[in-house]
Amino acid sequence: MDVLHLYSNLLMIIGALYVGMFLYALTKRDNPLVSAFSLLCLASAVYIFGTHFQLNADNVEEVLFGQKLKYFGVPLIPAAWFLFMYRVQFRRDITHLGRVVLFTVPFLTIFLVSTNEYHRLYYAGLHTFESGGFLLTRRVPGPLYPINMAYAYLSLLAGLYVFGKAWVQRGRGMNNPFFWLLLGRIIPGILLTLYLLGWTPGFIDLLPLSYLFSAITYAVAIFHYKLFDTKSIFNKEIFAGIKEGLIVVDHNNVLVDYNESAQAVFPWLVQENRGKPIKQFPEGREIVQNPNPQFTMSLSSAGGVRHYEFRRTELVQGSGMVGRVYIFLDVTEKQCMIEELNFLADHDSLTGVFNRRRILAKAEQLLQRTAEAHQAASLLMLDVDDFKMVNDQYGHQVGDEVLRGIAKACRGILREGDLIGRYGGEEFIIVLPGSGSAQAAACGERLRKSIADTPFQYGSETVRVTASIGICSTEMIKEPPITADKLVRLADEALYKAKYGGKNRVHVCSGS
């Protein structure tokens, strides 16, 4: 079998490959790239089969028919590439006016070739010669022939730019579809140039041969790197109008799309970053590395910290995962309300310190930790002296202000890690981890003195009060278990003795 027969058979194989890719593309109608790619494959198949028919022609009439046949495909290939590249570059469909402009040259070329024998504007002449049993031709370009060639080269250069840019954005590796699409555009460009320069053997159009190489690269992009597998929700009104933020990534966590709500939160969601792995951005890395399908992310902004609740949904095609959609909502107000409710559940609404339930629970937990660490702990029971007289003389509002002032004064003296809570009425419990009776007594004395020396102001009224403090340390308890209830009971007894001894004093229990 000589070279021309081999080439003729290869054309049939290559044409069949493009028909197969055309049929496969039709099964992926939910992908926005499919319409352009299916047109590309169909036009390529028509061009290749037309070239095969022309190569096997027995006379000039059949040569001219094959030429017309392949020109029903070849001018549409650059236009299909333009549609494909526009969708990749701008992530939206071209306008109707844009389509008209885009297909003007291809349809003009089809018309010129179909009617060339009447005007010879596309081909000025045709020379035939025989080689190896094949009727070959060499065509003389007409005055309008360069228009289609310029259009084809413009498509080629645009493809090198768009696919090259997308390839660079994804890290310049071989493991993304745009590397293979870029590679598939280079070889046809080289063979087209050789053919136009008349450097191909027998002036044969070898461009379809390069389509075999392109078919392989396209197959790698489609089947191995799942070019058509990410479901599209681009530019739909429902997508743009959703108040929740939406971020769409493919199976490699490459940014596919987003809506305006998401862009308002993450400033790196811009057109230039489509096609880039979102792990390049700190927040994006935190999003994709979170293993949970639902999670919360806190972000600092000019207005303070905002909280966002994320939900991850996987896009599945067949048996494989082809992408993910991250849906998130600003839950700052909800989070603040929850935090406020949690605070109110654990704290006294008047003074802001722990309430009785919480201080006893925290004291129990602290006693367990100090016992495990073989450390002492002390509990102080503080009671405002003659507080009923304050309420009776000045009113309950003044009394409330006094309690708030005492809580504030205590917090100013206590260490980080010490606990304070309102036990009830005018009584407070203070827990000192790591403090024995001597340290607790010294702290109690500082608290007592601070309260006695602090005037509490409410409007025009200035009120002075004193406090009595009873102290019990774990060192004083000889028999286990050591519990918060036991310390409270012993500290209360010590408080009673401080009251009985004249008030405004500190008393340490003697043990049990």
Name the more confident of 393 and 321.
393
Q: Residue 479's pLDDT is what?
A: 78
Pairing mode, strands 427-433 and 245-250 = unpaired
343 assigned to some structural domain = no
8 A C-beta contact, residue 321 and residue 251: yes
501 assigned to some structural domain = yes
Structure tokens at 399: 């009394």
Mean pLDDT value across the chain:
86
User: Residue 453's CB: how many other CB atoms inside 10 A?
Assistant: 10
Q: Residue 319's pLDDT is what?
A: 65
Kindly state whether residues 282 and 403 are assigned to the same domain: no
Structure tokens at 358: 């919480």
Q: Is residue 481 reached through a cis peptide bond, with omega within 30 degrees of 0 on the bond before it?
A: yes
Amino acid at 458: Y
**Backbone φ/ψ region at 503: left (φ over 0), alpha (ψ -120 to 50), beta:** left
Kindly state whether residues 272 and 413 are assigned to the same domain: no
386 assigned to some structural domain = yes
Give 3-state DSSP helix, strand, coil % of the chain, rounded to 5.
55, 20, 25
Give mean pLDDT, residues 141-149: 92
Q: How many CA atoms lie within 13 A of 512 on its CB side?
A: 18
Q: Which among 13-27, 29-43, 282-296, 336-350 has the top mean pLDDT?
A: 282-296
Kindly state whether residues 207 and 316 are assigned to the same domain: no
Tell me the C-alpha distance between 400 and 481, whole Å: 37
230 assigned to some structural domain = no
Q: List, in sequence order, the alpha helices (H) in 220-355.
A: 237-241, 260-265, 282-289, 332-346
Q: Determine the length of the chain.
A: 512
Phi, psi of 309 (to 5 degrees): -100, 120
8 A C-beta contact, residue 78 and residue 155: yes
Could you tell me which of 442, 28, 474 has the C-alpha nearest to residue 227?
28
Tell me the C-alpha distance between 263 and 392, whole Å: 60
368 assigned to some structural domain = yes
pTM for the full model?
0.52
SS3 label, residue 137: strand
**CATH assignment at residue 286:** 3.30.450.20
Domains held by the chain: number: 3
User: Residue 267's CB: how many other CB atoms inside 10 A?
Assistant: 9
Of all residues in the chain, the percent with pLDDT exceeding 70 is 93
Q: What is the CA radius of gyration of the chain?
A: 42
Give mean pLDDT, residues 74-100: 85
229 assigned to some structural domain = no
The tokens 């009447």 sit on which residue? 118
Give mean pLDDT, residues 246-257: 88
8 A C-beta contact, residue 321 and residue 231: no
pLDDT over threshold 70, residue 476: yes
Tell me the C-alpha distance between 309 and 330, whole Å: 7
Could you tell me which of 352, 372, 370 has the C-alpha nearest to residue 362?
370
Phi, psi of 111 (to 5 degrees): -65, -45
8 A C-beta contact, residue 439 and residue 386: no
Domain encompassing residue 482: 348-508
Give mean pLDDT, residues 484-511: 93
Give mean pLDDT, residues 133-146: 85
Q: How far is CA 103 from the centre of its chain?
A: 37
Give mean pLDDT, residues 26-52: 84
pLDDT over threshold 90, residue 343: no
Q: Residue 499's pLDDT is what?
A: 93
**CATH assignment at residue 442:** 3.30.70.270
Q: How far is CA 308 from the centre of its chain?
A: 12
**CATH assignment at residue 91:** 1.20.1070.10
Q: Max CA-CA distance within the chain? A: 130
Domain boundary among the residues 191, 224, 257 is at 224
Domain boundary among the residues 282, 308, 336 is at 336
Q: Residue 235's pLDDT is what?
A: 44
Pairing mode, strands 467-473 and 506-508 = parallel
Angle, CA 417 vertex, CA 436 and CA 451 arms, to 5°: 75
User: What DSSP string describes 165-212?
Assistant: HHHHHTTS-SSSHHHHHHHHHHHHHHHHHHHHTT-SGGG---HHHHHH
Kindly state whether residues 242 and 220 are assigned to the same domain: no
